[in-house]
Amino acid sequence: MKHTRIKDLLNTTEYGHRVTVKGWVKTFRNNQFIAINDGSTLGNLQAVIDFDQTDEMLLKRLTTGAAIAVTGPLVESLGKGQRVEIKVESLEILGDSDPERFPLQPKKHSLEFLREIAHLRFRTNTFNAVFKVRNALSFAVHQFFYERGFVYMHTPIITGSDAEGAGEMFKVTTLDFDNTPRKEDGSVNYKEDFFGKPTNLTVSGQLEGELAAMALGNIYTFGPTFRAENSNTTRHLAEFWMIEPEMAFYDLEDNMDLAEELLKYIIRFALDHCPDEIEFLKNRLLEEEKSKPQNERSEMDLVAKLHFCLDHEFERLTYSEAIEILRRSKPNQKKQFKYPIEDWGADLQSEHERYLVEKHFKKPVVLTDYPAAIKAFYMRQNEPDEQGRRTVRAMDILFPGIGEMVGGSQREERLSRLQQRMEEMDIPAKELDWYLDTRRFGTAPHAGFGLGFERLVQFVTGMGNIRDVIPFPRTPNNAEF
């Protein structure tokens, strides 16, 4: 007999017909009531067993975590908490779960503990909800771009370039470290390496994306990217997924409009398509916050926060305006910032971003026109202002509780200006000659941005640690599983 998904059964209003359900035992109480979950929904199906008629050995094997199949009529439930239940006529144990060794107790486990048992982590309600939302968000990204005629471009994972020029790359090599081929001057001879040259895991698909945009018009990438930055924070992963649209003939305004539209579209999609999961995560967060002091609890619950974000326009201002606000802010005057804001040109720390977003504007903020010195080489250069300050057409979108969600810019399309900037920043022009070609043959204004997918999943699920929104987190000193 074909089995039916529990999600479909819990919504049914028809009773009496026989069904088969396959899933894992969540709990078994009073030798009578089995709560079964098959992953299709957060809800469990109750199966009622007649223990007088059931072999005692079989009853003993109904332990938490065991995989089972049950068949019987679906009946209206008299118990509290569920509409339907299944009256078990036949029961089969598909896979035992040794109660002596099963690591999950029927109680709340810390997220840290669950990270260590990758397999059973997926069986918890929290991670069921998180990964369902992650799935929906990823689908929403593709739908958004498909509806708008963008081409999904698969840029390479292994590259020979450093797209951000920040030197935070993982090397890719087949050379033997214990017997490395060397040139006469003692340096590594990469000619003998797999690709005949040094290669690394990509930090961004942007540069390759720009090539495609300068031919196809509007493209986006959505894939894993890798950063060997030694940041042990709740916002950084060594392997994360990034969405990078790139649009020919877009300026910075167009770029910001698209980013805001995309973010709102995805958040709306999650509210429309994952109401049960988001409701569950909202309550999880409320529960978690109970242990925090009053002043650290959020003013809005998760659902209110998501709606608030949809209902308000993001605040747009320049870096220079932001610096003025920060300079005059209470925490700066009272020397409460760890990094006090004194001069124009300082890179913003997360305490500054949080102040702007959570205290000052209380909504997502888009900062533009950053100092050239703290941004990547490919960003379009503004003319120096009256005080001779050099800025670039960058934009970062900052979100409450997250900080930087999006980083993007209008690109420097003028070949000589780009080359000059690369020289200033020690970016090897020879290796990027293929990229500079886009500025040689029909260069045009264009723009794009990168959206950190896990940070978006964090915002929508309310999870505090980025490690808890990706199935297998990779961070410094951790590449388990």
Point out which residues bind Mg ion (CB under 5 A).
407
| Closest separation in Å from C-beta 164 to ligand 4AD | 5
Helix H or strand E segment including 448: strand 446-452
Q: Binding partner of residue 242 among Mg ion, ligand 4AD, none, CB under 5 to 8 Å per kind?
A: ligand 4AD
Q: What is the spatial distance between Cα 247 and Cα 145, in angstroms, rounded to a whole number?
A: 12
- Residue type at 55? D
- Binding mask 153-182 toward ligand 4AD (x if CB under 6 A, else -) reads ----------xx------------------
Interface characters, 431-460, with ligand 4AD (x: CB under 6 A): -----------------xxx-x-xx-----
Residue 168's binding partner out of ligand 4AD, Mg ion, none, with CB under 5 to 8 Å set by partner kind:
none
**Residue 386 three-state SS:** coil
Answer with the entry of ligand 4AD, Mg ion, none that 452 interacts with (C-beta below 5 to 8 A by kind). ligand 4AD
Using CB under 6 A as the binding rule, the residues of this chain from 215 to 274 that contact ligand 4AD are: 227, 229, 236-237, 240, 242, 244
Minimum distance of ligand 4AD from residue 209's CB (angstroms): 7
* Residue 164 or 193 with smaller CB distance to Mg ion: 164
For residues 287-319, b (16+ Cβ closer than 10 Å) or e, as one string?
eeeeeeeeeeebeeebeebbeebeeeebbbbeb
Which pair of structure tokens corresponds to residue 287?
A: 């529960």
Nearest to ligand 4AD of 43, 217 (CB atom): 217
CB of 366 to ligand 4AD, least distance (A): 12
Give the closest residue to 142 by CA, choosing from 133, 153, 132.
Answer: 153
Residues 6+ apart with CB under 8 A from 279: 303
462 closest CA partner among 120, 138, 234: 234
CA dihedral for 216, 222, 227, 233, sign (positive or negative) = positive
Q: Which of residues 17-56 bind ligand 4AD (CB under 6 A)?
A: none
Nearer to Mg ion, 164 or 277 (CB): 164
Q: How many CB atoms lie within 10 A of CB 410?
A: 25
- Check if the beta carbon of residue 347 is closer than 8 Å to that of residue 374: yes
Quick note: the x/- pattern for ligand 4AD over 376-415, rule CB under 6 A, is: ----------------------------xxxxx-------
Nearest approach, Cβ of 39 to ligand 4AD (angstroms)?
27
**Which string of b and e fits 111-144 if b means at least 16 CB within 10 Å?**
beebbeeeebbebbbbbbbbbbbbebbbebbeeb
Can you tell me whether residue 73 is helix, strand or coil?
A: strand
* Shortest Å, Cβ 237 to Mg ion: 14
Distance CA 237, CA 115 (A): 14
Choose between 96 and 229: whose C-beta lies nearer to Mg ion: 229
Q: Rule CB under 6 A: which of 179-208 touch ligand 4AD?
A: 204, 206
98 burial type by CB count under 10 A (0-12 exposed, 13-18 middle, 19+ buried): exposed
Minimum distance, C-beta of residue 255 to ligand 4AD, in the bound complex (Å): 9
Task: Write down the least CB distance from residue 408 to ligand 4AD, Å.
Answer: 4
The least distance separating ligand 4AD from the CB of residue 204, rounded to whole angstroms, comes to 4
Which positions touch ligand 4AD (CB under 6 A)?
163-164, 204, 206, 227, 229, 236-237, 240, 242, 244, 404-408, 448-450, 452, 454-455
